[in-house]
């Protein structure tokens, strides 16, 4: 896909508390099209913030400093939107769970291991502490001037349950996107992912890649490739354990 626009659809029983967020314009040319966020209330689950993304295709923006600048900016926008409560980030990241833009501490910082979710990191390296900092269109003399800036508070990692899909599999689905090419690390790639905040990690019951929607198969059983009926990526589905009535708001 070359169109970066993200659309968020919700079922009738999900109540949108705030409309889709418009991320800060001018920071990145198409940031508002590559990312959309909303606050919702889901029965038996509670209040959530949801962010949908579509990161640039590596064929159009290969790995390197320009790509890391774009993804880093999108990551900053996501954290600026995040209030610190339950959060789900999902979409086409055009990257594997182990790639830099997903796993790096200075990018999305989505970890494989729940044991690491207790960590926090400083958004500014200590060695840069005394240097002027340019952020969101403003220049700050030092890190002391950023103490009250929301997006520069201590950062928490996200949990990425899609790592569960990276082992060898003998049956389909084996990934979310099929690309048989000489420069492909694997034929079936796990580019579409669902990330959650630390407070949701223990409530992740399962995460699935869907190879059918109702009676419609999304993978050709003879060629083991995508049918392209609904698109060139397979959908992913997250199942969360319900909250008990005692703790529901």
Question: d(Cα 25, Cα 112) in Å, to the nearest integer?
Answer: 32
- The per-residue pLDDT for 151 is 56
- Let me know: does 218 contact 227? Beta carbons within 8 Å: yes
Question: How many CB atoms are closer than 10 A to CB 123?
Answer: 18
What is the model's pLDDT at position 247?
47
pLDDT in the model for residue 2? 47
Q: Which residues contact 13 (CB under 8 A, 6 or more apart)?
A: 42, 43
pLDDT at position 149, please? 64
Of 204, 209, 203, nearest to 188 by C-alpha is: 209
What pTM did the predictor assign?
0.81
Separation CA 41–CA 89 (nearest Å): 16
What's the angle, vertex CA 228, arms to CA 227 and CA 234, rounded to 5?
90
pLDDT mean by block of 10 residues, the chain; 249 residues: 58 71 55 78 86 86 81 83 91 92 88 91 61 65 67 81 87 82 74 95 93 82 65 88 61
Residue 47 forms beta bridges with which residues? 41
96-to-27, 102, 171, 196, 240 alpha-carbon distances in Å: 25, 7, 20, 16, 23
pLDDT of residue 32: 56
Comparing CA positions, the residue from 62, 79, 64, 63 lying closest to residue 27 is: 79
pLDDT of residue 249: 47
Reduced to 3 states (helix: H, G, I; strand: E, B; else coil), residue 145 is: helix
């Amino acid at each position: 896909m070359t169109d970066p626009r993200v659309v968020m659809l919700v079922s009738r029983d999900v109540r949108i508390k705030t409309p889709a967020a418009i991320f800060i314009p001018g920071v990145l040319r198409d940031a508002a099209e590559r990312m959309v966020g909303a606050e919702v209330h889901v029965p038996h689950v509670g209040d959530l913030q949801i962010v949908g993304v579509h990161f640039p295709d590596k064929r159009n923006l290969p790995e390197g400093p320009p790509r890391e600048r774009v993804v880093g900016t999108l990551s900053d926008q996501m954290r600026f939107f995040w209030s610190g409560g339950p959060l789900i980030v999902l979409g086409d990241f055009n990257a594997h769970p182990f790639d830099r833009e997903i796993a790096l501490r200075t990018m999305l910082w989505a970890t494989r291991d729940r044991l690491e979710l207790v960590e926090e990191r400083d958004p500014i390296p200590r060695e840069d502490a005394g240097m002027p900092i340019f952020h969101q269109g403003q220049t700050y003399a030092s890190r002391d001037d950023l103490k009250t800036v929301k997006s520069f508070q201590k950062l928490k990692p996200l949990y990425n349950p899609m790592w569960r899909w990276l082992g060898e599999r003998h049956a389909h689905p084996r990934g979310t996107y099929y690309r048989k090419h000489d420069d492909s690390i694997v034929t079936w790639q796990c580019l579409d992912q669902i990330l959650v905040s630390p407070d949701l990690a223990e409530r992740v019951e399962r995460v699935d890649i869907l190879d059918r929607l109702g009676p419609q198969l999304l993978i050709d059983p003879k060629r083991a490739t995508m049918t392209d009926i609904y698109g060139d990526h397979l959908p992913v589905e997250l199942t969360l354990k319900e909250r008990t009535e005692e703790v529901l708001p």
